[in-house]
Amino acid sequence: MRLRLDIAYDGTHFRGWARQPGLRTVQGALEDALARILGGEPRLVVAGRTDAGVHATGQVAHLDLDDAQQTRLAASTRGSDTAVTALARRVGGALGAYADVAVTATALAPEGFDARFSAVWRRYVYRIADRRSGYDPLRRHDTTTVRTELDAEEMDAAAESLRGLHDFAAYCKPRPEATTIRTLLDFGWRRDDDGVLVATVRADAFCHSMVRALVGGCVAVGEGRLGVTDLAAIRDRGARVPEVKVLAARGLTLTEVGYPADDQLAARADQTRARRGSEPAD
């Protein structure tokens, strides 16, 4: 039995998604809670492994249950809830009140569903408070602050120039045998009702630190240190430059993962595995 789990978390006090010995991680916290409920050693497969300090409102994972775990799950059915849909609530109980991670929904996964390989895109937002918007201490965990006033129109124009299928090596931290070719589907900036700058970034997948480097390049444009056309030129040269900083993780949130229609899930997973092999899909 394969389950889909929808997940949200405040990444401030986690050392990223992936389980690491001796460190508190999102995967570790969730798998430990699931083990108390289901027994055995539950292992989550996630759509995109986030770095330390990165948040999520729309993370997706899948979980395969063995026979013993299915039996324990079925025995927990109460009232009108099915055991599967009630699992999200039970995980919340195991994590405790005011936990910084939550399973927001659980469901039987459609045939062929793979949280990682079936995904067709991931969407992130990045929040920046500049001199114009001011600093809100209640948003300090999910918003990065800069001291200057940024030019949102210039940043948006620079972001638009980066869209499409390209090699983004200049905006990625290299990993052995991992491709840096990605399709950047959407990238743009706006100010919200409070004046905070919000970037929306959507791609088929992201290489390591790609979103935060893209945002850092746009900040350099917004401050006037780089021109609108410079970011695409840097991308096309394929070399990292000191003007493009990787911004803090605190401003970044994974908001949504997109999947094809159910009858296309397995084919998409096979296609992605063939293209990327064992490469991380985050």
pLDDT at 234 over 70: yes
**Alpha carbon 225 to its chain's center:** 29
The tens digit of pLDDT for each residue in 100-113 reads: 999 999 999 999 99
- Residue 244 near residue 223 (C-beta atoms within 8 A): no
pLDDT of 280 reads: 42
**How far is the C-alpha of 182 from the C-alpha of 270, rounded, in Å?**
18
Query: Domains plus CATH for the chain?
Result: 2-108 (3.30.70.580), 121-258 (3.30.70.660)
Q: What's the longest Cα–Cα distance across the chain?
A: 62
pLDDT at 18 over 60: yes
Among 259, 260, 277, 254, which Cα is nearest to 51's? 254
Residue 276 corresponds to which tokens in the numbers above? Answer: 């990327």
**How far is the C-alpha of 80 from the C-alpha of 33, rounded, in Å?**
23
**How far is the C-alpha of 92 from the C-alpha of 30, rounded, in Å?**
10
Residue 27 corresponds to which tokens in the numbers above? Answer: 């995967």
In 49-148 the beta strands, taken as DSSP E runs, fall at 55-64, 101-108, 121-129, 144-145
Quick one: 48 exposed, middle or buried, by C-beta within 10 A (0-12, 13-18, 19+)?
buried
Minimum mean pLDDT range among 63-67, 172-176, 195-199: 172-176
Residue 76: which pLDDT band, with cuts at 50, 70 and 90?
Answer: confident
Percent of the chain with pLDDT over 90: 89
Q: How many CA atoms lie within 13 A of 109 on its CB side?
A: 23
The tens digit of pLDDT for each residue in 248-265 reads: 999 999 999 999 999 999
Among 180, 187, 174, which Cα is nearest to 236's? 180
Helix (H) or strand (E) holding 31: helix 26-38
pLDDT of 239 reads: 87
42 three-state secondary structure:
coil
Percent of the chain with pLDDT over 70: 96
173 three-state secondary structure:
coil
What sign has the CA pseudo-torsion 84, 86, 91, 94?
negative
Quick one: 101 exposed, middle or buried, by C-beta within 10 A (0-12, 13-18, 19+)?
buried
The tens digit of pLDDT for each residue in 111-146 reads: 999 999 999 999 999 999 999 999 999 999 999 999
Residue 83 to residues 30, 65, 70, 74: CA-CA distances in angstroms? 18, 13, 10, 6
Residue 71's CB is within 10 A of a number of other CB atoms, namely 12
* Beta-carbon contacts of residue 21 (< 8 Å; ≥ 6 apart): none
Phi, psi at 161, each rounded to 5°: -70, -15
Phi, psi at 65, each rounded to 5°: -105, 135
The tens digit of pLDDT for each residue in 27-51 reads: 999 999 999 999 999 999 999 999 9
Active site residue 186: no
Phi, psi at 146, each rounded to 5°: -120, 150
pLDDT of 81 reads: 63
Catalytic choice (6, 10, 51, 130) = 51
In 150-196 the beta strands, taken as DSSP E runs, fall at 164-167, 181-191
Minimum mean pLDDT range among 113-122, 148-157, 166-175, 186-195: 166-175
pLDDT of 281 reads: 40
